[in-house]
Amino acid sequence: MQKKLSRRDFLKAGGLTLLGAVGANAISHPAGDSGTGKAKVLAAPAMQHDGHNGDLPNIVGEVDHEKNGFNPDDILIDFDYGEVSTLPNGQTLREYEIVSLNKNIEVVPGIEYPAWTYNGRIPGPTIRATEGDRIRIHFSNGSNHPHSMHFHGFHPGSMDGIPGSGPGGMVQPGESFDYEFDADPFGLHLYHCHVFPLARHIAKGLYGAFIVDPKEGRPPVDREMIMVMSGFDVDFDDANDFYAVNAIPFHYQNHPIQIKVGESIRIYLVNILEFDLINSFHLHANFFQYYPTGTSLIPSEFTDTIIQGQAQRGILEFTYRYPGMYMFHAHVTEFAELGWNGMFEVT
């Protein structure tokens, strides 16, 4: 008897729910079950990875650089010296226009990340000046959140770009502020937004490199490159999902950087990676001279691997002896397999 009753209840409840479900399904879109799941690999040629990379970790496809508005190939060698003029006292003035913008960036093929950018690119422009130059940044906030520009280097407190430091500490949407200071000391520095919540403001893309050349310049090299190491937390769980140098994972793996045997290379390397404690750079089949923070012209180490915490940076100098394909990547191998891996093609 009891069993019979419970079965009846069960059927009743089930029937009602079923009716509800049918109704709900009918209201929304018609079912589109293709039912082809059992077909064994119909091969999607466009999605096929390239043969010579075999089963190495890699992304599928290519991000739309044009839509992103920047290409890591360009960022690699793009140094912004600003608009140059001379002040009455003879000091060189470099002026920059920088605007913070909300922008969807395709960080890996198929995934657009609602990034915050300086001038629509990640990393922001690489600001380059000579020690003692006057820097004037016309910063305007074109986004819908307050932002700032906080530079590493000597400057007055009012130019520090942190909340509480005056009008430049938190530039409201639609407003602007001029940051002005002398480029000092020489070395490799960086800038980033310093508005709360800081981790998100940085992780979403508000950072860039700031190079101050010594007055007499650095010894000449054949080629200079800028590399900013960072990551993207696309699902907002405060852990990075993808890692890269110059924003786009695996970009230099799929588009190797072309260099010549014997060519002297200088890399300005900045780590702004959020959420993870350290980042690193390892160069294959070679060694480099390392100048931490670039504040000395004498290298501190001759090595093939260095570690950087967040905001640490340094200059690397090396030359390749033999032609071939050579990897460079974070020797935190997890980061490498999640995108921070590149290649030098030496000819």
Partner 1 sequence: MTQQPTQSSRFTFRTLVLLLIPIILLVGVIVLFLSTGGGLDLQAAAPVEELTIERYTLERNEIELHVRNTGPEEINVAQVVINEAIMPFTIAPNTAIPRLGTALIHINYPWTYGEAYSVTVFTSNAIAFAVDIPVAFETPQPSASTFWGFTLIGLYVGVIPVFLGIFWFPALRTLGRRTMTFLMAATAGLLIFLGLDTLAEAFEFAAEIPEHSRALA
User: Interface with partner 1 by CB under 8 A: which residues?
Assistant: 2-3, 6-7, 10, 13-14, 17-18, 21, 23, 25-29, 31-44, 47-49, 53-55, 57-60, 108-113, 234-235, 241-242, 249-250, 334, 337-339
Question: How far lies 141's CA from each of 166, 177, 190, in Å?
Answer: 16, 9, 19
Residue 309 beta carbon to partner 1: minimum distance, rounded to whole angstroms: 21
How deeply is 138 buried, as exposed, middle or buried, from its count of CB atoms within 10 A (0-12, 13-18, 19+)? Answer: middle
SS (H, E, C) 41-72: CCCCHHHCCCHHHCCCCCCCCCCCHHHHCCCH
Distance CA 226, CA 203 (A): 19
Residue 69 beta carbon to partner 1: minimum distance, rounded to whole angstroms: 19
Smaller CB separation from partner 1, 7 or 215: 7
User: Are the C-beta atoms of residues 165 and 179 closer than 8 Å to each other?
Assistant: no
Residue 76 beta carbon to partner 1: minimum distance, rounded to whole angstroms: 21
Residue 316 beta carbon to partner 1: minimum distance, rounded to whole angstroms: 26
Residue 330 beta carbon to partner 1: minimum distance, rounded to whole angstroms: 12
Distance CA 135, CA 156 (A): 13
Q: Which two tokens stand for residue 189?
A: 């520095």
User: Are the C-beta atoms of residues 222 and 319 closer than 8 Å to each other?
Assistant: no
Smaller CB separation from partner 1, 21 or 261: 21
Smaller CB separation from partner 1, 17 or 347: 17
Smaller CB separation from partner 1, 39 or 298: 39
Closest CA to 127 of 66, 245, 218, 211: 211
Smaller CB separation from partner 1, 54 or 88: 54
Smaller CB separation from partner 1, 162 or 234: 234
Smaller CB separation from partner 1, 58 or 130: 58
Smaller CB separation from partner 1, 96 or 250: 250
Smaller CB separation from partner 1, 28 or 89: 28
The CA-based dihedral angle spanning residues 118, 246, 266, 335, taken in that order and rounded to the nearest 10 degrees: 140
Distance CA 136, CA 183 (A): 10
Residue 26 beta carbon to partner 1: minimum distance, rounded to whole angstroms: 6
Helices (H), the chain: 2-27, 65-68, 72-75, 198-203, 251-254, 333-337
Residue 202 beta carbon to partner 1: minimum distance, rounded to whole angstroms: 18
Residue 75 beta carbon to partner 1: minimum distance, rounded to whole angstroms: 21
Which residues neighbour 136 within 8 Å (Cβ) at sequence distance 6 or greater? 93, 94, 95, 96, 178, 179, 180
Omega before residue 197 within 30° of 0, cis: yes
Residue 236 beta carbon to partner 1: minimum distance, rounded to whole angstroms: 8
